[in-house]
Amino acid sequence: MKPNLIQELVKIVGKNAVLTSPEDLAVYSYDGTFEEHCPDVVVLPTSTEQVSQVIQLAAREHIPVVTRGMASGLAAASVPFSGGIVLCLTRMDRVLELDEENAIVHVEAGIITANLQAEVEKKGLFYPPDPSSIRHSTIGGNIACNAGGPRCLKYGVTGDYVLGLTVVLADGRVIHTGGKVIKDVVGYDLTALLTGSEGTLGVITEALLRLTARPKFARTALVEFNSIEDASETVNAILTAGIVPATLELMDQTAISCIEEAMHLGLPLDVEAILLVETDGQEETSVAREIEAAAEICTRHGARKVTVAKDESERQGLWKARRSVAPALARLAPNKLGEDITVPRSAIPEAVRRLKQVSAKYGLPIVIFGHAGDGNLHPNILFDKRDPQQWAKVEQMVAEEFAIALDLGGTLSGEHGVGTLKRPYLERALGPVSVDIQKRIKQALDPNNILNPGKVLPD
Amino acid sequence: MSLPCNLIQPEENEYLNCIRCGLCLAVCPTYRVYKNETASPRGRVALARKGLEGELELTPNLAEQMYACLDCLACNDICPVGIRPADIAVEMRHVQEQIRPSGWKDTLFGALIAKPGRMEAATMPLRVYQGSGLRRLVYTLQIWKLLPARLRDLEGMLPRLPKRPLRRVLPEVTKARGDSRYRVGFFLGCAQSLLFADESAATVRVLARNGCTVVTPKDTVCCGMPAAGYGRMDLVKAHARFNIALFEKTATDVIVTDCATCGSKLKEYGQILAGEPEWAERAAVFSAKVRDVSEFLMSIPLEKPAGRIETRVTYHDPCHLRRAQKVWQQPRALMELIDGIDFVELPESDWCCGSAGSQLITHYATSLAVLDRKMDNLKSTGAEMIASGCPGCQMQLTTGIKRRQLAVKVVHPIVLLDQAYASQENSQ
């Protein structure tokens, strides 16, 4: 990048917020996948105004801009394949206003989601979405990818809590969408459009988020199954019985043994699957009643054992385990490719069956866990990327995983997003008309294609 | 750039499986300060890998990222894959030292720190500065206000020095009070002897009171931590061999230290010398005997002090104790043994204080930013004392307290126990 442009960036954000050394560029080349490509410069702004000025410069010079937070993404959405500017918003991490009366919080995009939760919980309020990366991802990234998480079964995904956004457009103009209102039908819903847009339509710099009352009680049960099919059928049995647990998580044998090796929690190693069921609410008795009812259904559907966590620390232990599954898998192989296909929940048992067949066919392990309650599964292929034969197989396996999801009436991604990795499959999932319309939306908002180019939509 | 073939470097399996999930960013003190990937464990592992695989040059700037790590080990603990980013950072310092040796380290870690006598001579001016009343004068005349902030912080870090280093005062063998039930070797660390002599004197008193015959070899050399931190594994090994041979002559069942840093290094000797046939076994035996003083005391029938200490106390976990040695319950249990103590947990007690040996000197801004957060947490407890069994942490905490002008005293937990015994004697 031309030195005078670097100087201009320094003028906007200050010397300590412009990084250009080979070492700095190297560590901003990756996200939570194995993909990487160095940017030309890294900029760490501290205000919407600075972002706007940086984008104006990028627009003038037609420089690609890839916005990111902590780069925990699993779709290579924030890998700067076209070089250019990496706009890292981690230093914009303030709570601008906590409006207790309206139960709305106004935050900057770079706040770590767990810190946001902790802040609002101090006031008895609750921000429910809980991606597993909650401690190492930012709310801006969560919104840009419309992140989910275990609790979304009952509470909904990130997008369900976004009331308004401050966004810097591709020409540097700033818009505010939505506002502190729950109902709002004036004009197109730009908030919803930008949520999940993965940095391709604008740079989200601030957000207004809806909060709820913090549930006072929670009970968590660990349910062991000798057959993974029984486990996945139990999911539907619980939900059709009219119980809405906060979470309903499935883990297969490999996932269990992996966490056990990493964390020594005393999980059973001789079962084929585990369900983690949690109920929560404001009344202790109803929460307890629900977990008992769920336990009974589990037993009726072939559960070998149901253990309800005795206290908060036991419960925290179980959740820590669940959140560590994905990374812990790396103990087994140098690389893993985790997808997050989603199917109608009635199709979960069939999806699990077919995924196991794919694994058997190619001879590479697929570990299955995920948010079974909302049909969102995380099949993880374990492999060694240095072996070209394995890598070739992985590419075919991923295609088959996506085919399974679409075939069963599902979709490619429930919460990770499309990024780069799922881009080749997008047209198949959406159809040519939808892709055409989406390309026109992109064209309207970013005519010079500088915002996260080469992501989400096919060329 | 191709690397020399005989280079001692992190092995591929130490970094290969890093999946870049980012969990380590959540617990890293330097990331929390700078919110910049370059200052994160994941970033350091990536840089190490790229440097070793030839994708990046092993530049001084790359090495600097390794030195920017506080080596607090929080990332090692949280990594679900089992990657040890903090260890990799330290190993990379050693790589740098092999490629671009810096001569002054021979002098500092090889000739000075490794020889207690020379250390004592070199620190003489500091004892004169304090002992002669010069320090008091500096404060009385408020000369210290004229010092640049950085120097003022370093000056403030200095505890009240003992008149003479404890090594010169402590007998080689301290007899147990009553029947001798344990023969305990005491590893007197450099900082403890030179700066915190009162604390180690208390340690020996408490041990003796609880049935220990305490043997203190006088010729011990530095445990090796400073040399390790500056990439001189060769010197660490030399220190280790010397200390092992020395303690073999004492015929002790356990080797106790009251310095978290020494303890963690001594416990690593087995691992450090594992590749040397002549030493592997001896080092393993040595390391297996090492105990932090709180760890040892809580494992034996300990006399409950009848004396009381009426004060509100909180506790800061030294990284080298909690993470490196997994000792965190024992110091708390030890203090809770004392009647009158109102113990209150410090929020984020296991986050690094920013000392990390010499970071206040080498990485002033980072060290202070980390320390500031610690002080906010300390203030929230309302404690009158903060205990911590590490000389580095104690000096750093003292600096923070002076900067903020808080009315909090920094102590070693063992001193509280010693005082409780003493007040019981006095009242009898």
State residue B195 phi and psi, 5-degree precision: -115, -35
pLDDT at A455 over 80: yes
Q: Which three-class secondary structure state does DSSP give residue A220?
A: strand
**Residues of chain A neighbouring B26 (CB-CB closer than 8 A):** 112, 114, 135-136
What pLDDT sits at residue A129? Answer: 96
- Span(s) in chain B for CATH 1.10.1060.10: 14-99
More confidently predicted of B217 and A314: B217
**Residues of chain A neighbouring B21 (CB-CB closer than 8 A):** 32, 72, 133, 136, 326-327, 330
How many independent structural domains does chain A possess? Answer: 4
Closest CA to B245 of B286, B198, B293: B286
User: From the CA of B75, how many Å to the nearest CA of chain A?
Assistant: 13
Q: Considering all CA atoms of chain B, what is the largest pairwise distance in Å, rounded to the nearest integer?
A: 73
A195 and A231 both lie in a single domain: no
- Of A24, A28, A70, nearest to B25 by CB-CB distance is A70
What pLDDT sits at residue B2? Answer: 64
Domain edge (last residue) among A180, A213, A246:
A213
Find the chain B residues whose C-beta atoms sit closer than 8 A to any C-beta of A.
16-26, 35-38, 40, 42-43, 46-47, 50, 55-57, 59, 61-62, 65, 79-82
What pLDDT sits at residue A119? Answer: 97
Contact check, Cβ <8 Å, A327/B17: no
Residue A456 belongs to some domain of the structure? no
Find the chain A residues whose C-beta atoms sit closer than 8 A to any C-beta of B.
19, 21-24, 26-28, 30-34, 44, 70-72, 88, 90-91, 93, 110, 112, 114, 133, 135-137, 262-263, 324, 326-328, 330-331, 333-336
Q: Which of B15, B18, B20, B33 to mutate to test the interface with A (most CBs of A within 10 A)?
A: B20
**Residues of chain A neighbouring B20 (CB-CB closer than 8 A):** 30-34, 71
Contact B354, B385 (CB under 8 A): no
Contact check, Cβ <8 Å, B57/A331: no
Half-sphere exposure of B84 (CA within 13 A, CB side): 15
- Of B17, B26, B80, nearest to A135 by CB-CB distance is B26
Contact check, Cβ <8 Å, A114/B50: no
Q: For residues A453 and B370, what is the distance between their CA atoms, to the nearest angstrom?
A: 38
**Residues of chain B neighbouring A135 (CB-CB closer than 8 A):** 23, 26
Q: Which three-class secondary structure state does DSSP give residue A30?
A: strand
User: From the CA of B17, how many Å to the nearest CA of chain A?
Assistant: 5
Contact check, Cβ <8 Å, B37/A27: yes
- Of B16, B18, B80, nearest to A324 by CB-CB distance is B80
**Residues of chain A neighbouring B24 (CB-CB closer than 8 A):** 136
The alpha carbon of residue A414 and the mean position of all alpha carbons in its chain are separated, in whole angstroms, by: 8
Q: For the domain bounded by B14-99, which CATH number is listed?
A: 1.10.1060.10
Q: Which residue has the tokens 């060290």?
A: B367
Q: For residues B121 and A237, what is the distance between their CA atoms, to the nearest angstrom?
A: 78
User: From the CA of B211, how many Å to the nearest CA of chain A?
Assistant: 37
A206 and A122 both lie in a single domain: yes
Q: Please count the other Cβ atoms lying within 10 Å of the Cβ belonging to residue B19.
A: 25
State residue B175 phi and psi, 5-degree precision: -75, 145
| Amino acid residing at B275 | G
Instruction: Walk along chain B (428 residues) in steps of 10 and give the mean pLDDT of each run.
Output: 77 89 96 98 98 95 96 93 94 93 79 79 79 76 75 80 88 94 95 92 97 96 92 93 96 96 97 96 98 98 94 97 96 96 97 90 92 97 97 96 95 97 81
Model confidence at A10, pLDDT cuts 50, 70, 90, reads very high
User: From the CA of A419, how many Å to the nearest CA of chain B?
Assistant: 16
Q: Which fold has domain B166-297?
A: Glutathione S-transferase Yfyf (Class Pi); Chain A, domain 2 (1.20.1050)
- Closest-CA residue of chain A to B42: A27
A253 and A299 both lie in a single domain: yes
- Closest-CA residue of chain B to A23: B62
Contact B255, B185 (CB under 8 A): yes
Least confident of A113-117, A272-276, B37-41: A272-276
Instruction: Provide the b/e sequence for B188-224 (b: ≥16 CB within 10 Å).
Output: bbbbbbbbbbbbbbbbbbbbbbbbbbbbbbeebbbbb
User: From the CA of B16, how many Å to the nearest CA of chain A?
Assistant: 6
Q: For residues B351 and B101, what is the distance between their CA atoms, to the nearest angstrom?
A: 32
pLDDT at A116 over 80: yes
What pLDDT sits at residue B136? Answer: 77
- Of B19, B37, B79, nearest to A28 by CB-CB distance is B37
User: From the CA of A162, how many Å to the nearest CA of chain B?
Assistant: 24
Model confidence at A354, pLDDT cuts 50, 70, 90, reads very high
**Alpha carbon of A298 to those of A231, A310, A402, B405: distances in Å?**
8, 19, 29, 60
Q: Which of A18, A21, A23 to mutate to test the interface with B (most CBs of B within 10 A)?
A: A23
Q: Please count the other Cβ atoms lying within 10 Å of the Cβ belonging to residue A183.
A: 4
- Per-residue pLDDT tens digits for A245-260: 999 999 998 889 888 8
CATH number at residue A269: 3.30.70.2190
- Of B20, B23, B36, nearest to A30 by CB-CB distance is B20
Contact check, Cβ <8 Å, A331/B82: yes
**Residues of chain A neighbouring B38 (CB-CB closer than 8 A):** 19, 23-24, 27
- Span(s) in chain B for CATH 1.20.1050: 166-297
Contact check, Cβ <8 Å, A26/B19: no
A116 and A168 both lie in a single domain: yes
User: From the CA of B43, how many Å to the nearest CA of chain A?
Assistant: 5
Q: Which three-class secondary structure state does DSSP give residue B410?
A: strand
**Residues of chain A neighbouring B59 (CB-CB closer than 8 A):** 22-23
Instruction: Provide the b/e sequence for A300-309 (b: ≥16 CB within 10 Å).
Output: ebebbebebb
Contact A107, A94 (CB under 8 A): yes
What pLDDT sits at residue A284? Answer: 94
Contact check, Cβ <8 Å, A327/B42: no
- Per-residue pLDDT tens digits for A171-219: 999 999 999 999 999 999 999 999 999 999 999 999 999 999 999 999 9
What pLDDT sits at residue B153? Answer: 81
What pLDDT sits at residue B130? Answer: 79
Q: For chain A, what percent of residues have pLDDT higher than 90? A: 86
- Span(s) in chain B for CATH 3.40.50: 308-427
User: From the CA of B200, how many Å to the nearest CA of chain A?
Assistant: 37
- Closest-CA residue of chain A to B83: A331
A150 and A220 both lie in a single domain: no
Q: For residues B322 and B333, what is the distance between their CA atoms, to the nearest angstrom?
A: 14
Residue A457 belongs to some domain of the structure? no
Model confidence at A406, pLDDT cuts 50, 70, 90, reads very high
- Closest-CA residue of chain B to A88: B36
Token pair belonging to B226: 């400073």
A139 and A35 both lie in a single domain: no
Contact check, Cβ <8 Å, A32/B38: no
Contact check, Cβ <8 Å, B16/A133: no
A358 and A427 both lie in a single domain: yes
Contact check, Cβ <8 Å, B81/A327: yes
DSSP assignment string, A87-147: EE-TT---EEEEETTTTEEEEETTSBHHHHHHHHHTTTEE-----TTTTSSBHHHHHHTT-
User: From the CA of B221, how many Å to the nearest CA of chain A?
Assistant: 37
Residue A459 belongs to some domain of the structure? no
**Residues of chain A neighbouring B65 (CB-CB closer than 8 A):** 23
- Closest-CA residue of chain A to B45: A27
Domain edge (last residue) among A303, A327, A351:
A327
Residue A227 belongs to some domain of the structure? yes
**Residues of chain B neighbouring A112 (CB-CB closer than 8 A):** 26
Residue A368 belongs to some domain of the structure? yes
Q: What is the span of the domain harbouring residue A161?
A: 96-213
CATH number at residue A136: 3.30.465.10
Q: Which three-class secondary structure state does DSSP give residue A385?
A: coil
CATH number at residue A415: 3.30.70.2740
Residue A273 belongs to some domain of the structure? yes
Q: Which of A136, A145, A383, A386 to mutate to test the interface with B (most CBs of B within 10 A)?
A: A136
- Of A21, A110, A327, nearest to B23 by CB-CB distance is A327
- Closest-CA residue of chain B to A113: B26
Q: Indicate the pTM of the whole model.
A: 0.94
Contact check, Cβ <8 Å, A324/B43: no
- Of B20, B24, B61, nearest to A23 by CB-CB distance is B61
CATH number at residue A81: 3.30.43.10
What pLDDT sits at residue B1? Answer: 52
What pLDDT sits at residue B357? Answer: 83
- Closest-CA residue of chain A to B61: A23
A310 and A341 both lie in a single domain: no
A267 and A369 both lie in a single domain: no
Q: For the domain bounded by B308-427, which CATH number is listed?
A: 3.40.50
What pLDDT sits at residue B106? Answer: 78
